[in-house]
Amino acid sequence: MRGVAYQTFYRLPHPVRRRVVRLIVPKYLVGAVAIIKDSEAADPGRLLLLRQPPGRSWGLPAGLLKKAEAPEVGAARELAEESGVVLDPTDLTPATPNAVVHAKGWVDMIYLGQVPASTTPLVVDGGEVLEAGWFSLADLPRLTPNTAKVLGLYGMGPNAS
14 pLDDT higher than 80: no
Q: Is residue 141 part of a domain?
A: yes
**55 closest CA partner among 152, 134, 141:** 141
pLDDT, greater one: 11 or 1 = 11
19 in a domain, yes or no?
no
- Of residues 13 and 36, more confidence is placed in 36
Residue 116 neighbours by CB under 8 Å, 6+ apart:
38, 39, 40
Could you give the percent of the chain with pLDDT greater than 70?
A: 93
Peptide bond before 89: cis, by omega within 30 degrees of 0?
no
Residue span of the structural domain in which 78 resides: 28-153
Rounded distance between C-alpha atoms, residue 30 and residue 53, angstroms: 21
**C-alpha dist (Å) from residue 109 to 31, 112, 115, 160:** 6, 10, 20, 19
Residue 86 to residues 18, 45, 91, 126, 153, Cα–Cα distance (Å): 39, 20, 10, 18, 25
* Helical ranges in the chain per DSSP H: 2-11, 14-24, 71-83, 145-153
- Higher pLDDT among residues 108 and 5, named by residue: 108
CATH code of the domain covering residue 85: 3.90.79.10
Question: Does residue 2 belong to any structural domain of this protein?
Answer: no
Q: What is the total count of domains within the chain?
A: 1
In a domain, 36, yes or no: yes
Residue 114 within a domain? yes
Within-domain flag for 148:
yes
pLDDT digits (tens, 9 = 90+) for 42-60: 988 999 999 998 888 999 9
Looking at residue 10, its pLDDT comes to 63
**Helix count and strand count (H, E) for the chain:** 4, 7
Residue 62 lies in a domain: yes
Query: What pLDDT does residue 3 have?
Result: 64
Question: pTM for the complete prediction?
Answer: 0.83
pLDDT tens-digit series, residues 84-123: 999 999 999 999 999 998 877 789 999 999 999 999 999 9
**Is residue 136 included in any domain, yes or no?**
yes
